[in-house]
Amino acid sequence: AENAAVETLVALARELGDRAPRVHVLHLSSADALPLIARAKADGVRITAETCPHFLTLTAEEVPDGATEFKCCPPIREAANQDALWAGLADGTIDCVVSDHSPCTGDLKTADFGSAWGGISSLQLGLSAVWTEARRRGHGIDDVARWMAAGPALLAGLDRKGAIEPGRDADFAVLATDETFTVDPARLHHRNPVTAYAGRTLGGVVRSTWLRGARIATDGTPAGPTGRLLERNN
Ligand SMILES: [Zn+2]
């Protein structure tokens, strides 16, 4: 179904040509669609694609029976598919990695994959999860910053975000790249700490988080909500 959906998007974009709106493939999970997207980009079709931390760090083979905290849409696929997604990131076919933070109350994660909520919360863990796997595969933190900060800012047209340089908002995390931690659901700040990452050891500990030059979290403890709605060009 995912492959067919991407095929339809690309076919419509090609058919409409200059009249086509910009096309973005969200939550790309199926690596089968990568050649299609790569060819469309090479042909000048205005198309971009994103994937998410769970598709890059979790595999179908390791999902225990009935463990619906791993359910998301599209689904987590096999290890070989994950290798191909990483190759798609490395060669630029995939433009960015986005959080796709999709929380729900614990009761919605029933033990039935058919009816359970489809979504994974990983806002607090995404950076470390992606960094852990990126490093294992030989990528640097600069690659991760490009995929998780510069790429999304460019896609969303947020000129003040996505880089640390004069004229932009001073948004950044101070990351101890060599340190590790084990994910304990009780220490998550999500209101509903259901997580597919429980018990995993991840690399990269966030020391502090900065928003527009102000420290908003220290050693994993947020100072309190300080955000505001972002619109283009502000
Ligand atoms: Zn989503």
DSSP 130-168: HHHHHHHTT--HHHHHIIIIIHHHHHHT-TTSSS-STTS
Phi first, then psi, for residue 95 (nearest 5°) are -85, -30
User: Residue 31 Cα, ligand 1 centroid: separation in angstroms?
Assistant: 18
**What are the residue ranges in the chain where pLDDT is below 50?**
234
Say what the pLDDT of residue 228 is: 82
Say what the pLDDT of residue 226 is: 79
User: Residue 54 Cα, ligand 1 centroid: separation in angstroms?
Assistant: 11
User: Residue 89 Cα, ligand 1 centroid: separation in angstroms?
Assistant: 19
Q: Helix (H, G, I), strand (E, B), or coil: what is residue 49? A: strand
User: Residue 217 Cα, ligand 1 centroid: separation in angstroms?
Assistant: 25
Please identify, in words, the CATH class of the domain defined by 2-167: alpha beta
Say what the pLDDT of residue 229 is: 84
Domain boundaries, the chain: 2-167
Say what the pLDDT of residue 181 is: 97
Distance CA 59, CA 37 (A): 23
Contact 202, 196 (CB under 8 A): no
User: Residue 62 Cα, ligand 1 centroid: separation in angstroms?
Assistant: 22
User: Residue 119 Cα, ligand 1 centroid: separation in angstroms?
Assistant: 7
User: Residue 189 Cα, ligand 1 centroid: separation in angstroms?
Assistant: 19
User: Residue 120 Cα, ligand 1 centroid: separation in angstroms?
Assistant: 8
Say what the pLDDT of residue 100 is: 93
Ligand 1 is a single-atom ion; what residues have CB below 5 A from it? 100, 102
Say what the pLDDT of residue 233 is: 61
User: Residue 138 Cα, ligand 1 centroid: separation in angstroms?
Assistant: 28
User: Residue 118 Cα, ligand 1 centroid: separation in angstroms?
Assistant: 9
User: Residue 52 Cα, ligand 1 centroid: separation in angstroms?
Assistant: 9
